[in-house]
Structure 1
Amino acid sequence: MDLLSRIAQVIVPVFLIVAIGWFYGRRARPDMTVFNRITLDVLSPLLVYAALADRSFRLQDHGPLLLGGTLLMLGCGLLAWVVARAFRAQPRSLVPVVMFTNCGNMGLPLALLAFGPEHFGAAVALFSISNLLHFSLGMRITSAHAATRELLLSPLMLATALGFASALTGLRPPAMLLTGMKMLGDAMLPLMLFSLGVRLIALTRSGLALGLLGALARPLAGLAVVWPLVWLLDLQGAARGQLVLFAVLPPAVMQFLLAERYRQEPEKVAAMILLGNALSVLFVPLGLALGL
């Protein structure tokens, strides 16, 4: 009963905000373009840098977890390629959907609620590693002609590089500036959940069957890969729980933007991502039950 109560305390606030976004989106049909751009270009970089540059975050303490996250993404990508060949799906469409999780707008709030502020820096580090791989290897998988320079020089990537540099060298801005960055960056968490809810209004019946393969392959591949990694890396406590949660998260919403940009079956990718995020109501509690 205590475990069920802990899971409820984590997922109910998250899905409540998503539900509010969905109801508002159904009613108002808002244009989220500017909203999402501010989140991506201002709030996300500030949250990432403030968490990585925080004095309580020690990069060397999270090496096994970050290695586990990297291997998890690569292992899921390999399994996705096998699934794509078996079901005659386009690997360039399916593989990135399965490799990269929604570890920003869903993963970060879940990690904060489940493991507390003292372990939030590790969740941000996982998010940062995922972004680095997504905007390099993930883009190359999506399109052989992808130019990574523009996205690698984006505010989020620069904030990630500066954050890791601060964590490694100990050079940080004054505490009063870091506090201001953190206050603004913290606003990203509920705003991204709200935005995710608005996006879910695009899920239609015609996309259900089309997106089911990717929607199920994402968390199932994560579960298949994460247990050997937990054992091999001897992850314990919060690190173990964070990697298990990372493994069952739904597909990254960002992948739809990349698929649309490079014309890689965007309608199929959208169906996988939207259905995968809808099904997270089943897989996230499972991941929390296994990880807590």
Structure 2
Amino acid sequence: MAVRIISILFPLFAIAALGYVVARRRTPDLTEANRLNMDVFTPALVFGALAGRHVEASTYGWLALAGLIVIIGSGLSGRLIALLTGHNPRTLVPPMTFNNCGNLGIPVALLTFGEDAVPAAVVLFALSNTLHFSFGAWYLDHHANLWSVLRNPSVLAAIAGLSVSLLDIPIWDPLLQTVVMVGNVAIPLMLFGLGVRMATTKISTLGFALIVAISRPIIGMLIAAALIAVFDLPHIQAATLLIFGALPPAVLNFMFAERYHQEPDKVASAVLLGNLFAFLFLPIALAFVL
């Protein structure tokens, strides 16, 4: 099992490590590449994963509900931890709530269970991404325009992909394969960009970062495990949910904190340390699902 876990995680951390090494040597500017990934490659990945197979409306309904409970439960736990530790809830709650289900969640699911697990991981990613761009933005700024979430390419791709899948709308196979090939760019670019971000971010507030880095995956896994015991989820969906719970804070949390001037240095430290701690918590999650 140890060899299996290492073989699953090695490509993820190897690509991230490559990004880290490159960034330490030449500090590449990935601003435009990351924008393309958010606007083109990731939406193609989302659409291809959902539209490429027919599913019934109930197939991922319980998984989506369970994912929503994990997100809400993690956020409420973050609120309680903020009150107990004296940290600003607007700084601590978002990285506790929104995890790295894009950069790490989809690749881990893919490498663990193959293509069959990608739709489940994409459903959780689309759910978290939609909430992050809507509630997450409103939480940091009550004047934020919530309708902007409908212009988010990944959200639009999820709606379109689900519509095609649920309605069983035929798509010309070469066209679908083209979309899938474009989407295949997203995962390695996500991981490479994560490594670059880790190389250019410093841990400035260790105490705050440790709180988030440790409590985020532990609480997420506990909530996910409880839901798995209650909901009758298929094995791959249950495993994907547990992995979802174990994921570290999303890099997007730092971008939001910087945009809304919400102690970005603290959030950056939590994101960096949390993703480093993924070396510890993801193997634990995989040991339970394999």
Q: Which residue of 1 is the match for residue 6 of structure 2?
A: 8
Name structure 1 gaps, 5 residues minimum.
none
Q: Secondary structure at the match of 2:154?
A: helix
Q: Which residue of 1 is the match for residue 26 of structure 2?
A: 28
Within a 5 Å distance, the mapping from 1:115-154 to structure 2 comes to: 115-154=113-152
Report if aligned partners of 1:52, 1:164 keep a CA contact under 8 Å in 2: yes
Displacement of 1:135: 1.2
* Cα distance change on mapping 1:142 and 1:180 into 2, 3 Å: same
Within a 5 Å distance, the mapping from 1:1-292 to structure 2 comes to: 3-292=1-290
Amino acid at match of 2:97: M
Task: Identify the range of structure 1 (45-54 vs 159-168) with the bigger mean alpha-carbon deviation.
Answer: 159-168
Name structure 2 gaps, 5 residues minimum.
none
* Cα distance change on mapping 1:172 and 1:271 into 2, 3 Å: farther
- What's the TM-score once normalised by structure 1's chain length? 0.95
Report if aligned partners of 2:203, 2:268 keep a CA contact under 8 Å in 1: no
Give the Cα–Cα distance (whole angstroms) in 2 for the partners of residues 131 and 232 of structure 1: 25
Report if aligned partners of 1:135, 1:152 keep a CA contact under 8 Å in 2: no
* Cα distance change on mapping 1:211 and 1:170 into 2, 3 Å: same
Give the Cα–Cα distance (whole angstroms) in 1 for the partners of residues 233 and 53 of structure 2: 23
Give the Cα–Cα distance (whole angstroms) in 1 for the partners of residues 2 and 54 of structure 2: 30
Cα RMSD of the aligned pairs, angstroms, is: 1.5
Displacement of 1:265: 1.3
* Cα distance change on mapping 1:180 and 1:211 into 2, 3 Å: same
Displacement of 1:236: 4.3
Displacement of 1:205: 4.7
Displacement of 1:59: 4.7
Report if aligned partners of 2:248, 2:271 keep a CA contact under 8 Å in 1: yes
Task: Identify the range of structure 1 (79-88 vs 207-216) with the bigger mean alpha-carbon deviation.
Answer: 207-216
* Cα distance change on mapping 1:239 and 1:5 into 2, 3 Å: same
Displacement of 1:253: 0.8
Amino acid at match of 1:262: Y
Give the Cα–Cα distance (whole angstroms) in 2 for the partners of residues 226 and 158 of structure 1: 27
Residues paired across the two proteins, number: 290
Displacement of 1:120: 1.3
Task: Identify the range of structure 1 (164-173 vs 22-31) with the bigger mean alpha-carbon deviation.
Answer: 164-173
Give the Cα–Cα distance (whole angstroms) in 1 for the partners of residues 203 and 266 of structure 2: 13
Q: Secondary structure at the match of 1:144?
A: coil
- What's the TM-score once normalised by structure 2's chain length? 0.95
Q: Secondary structure at the match of 2:103?
A: coil
Give the Cα–Cα distance (whole angstroms) in 1 for the partners of residues 221 and 47 of structure 2: 30
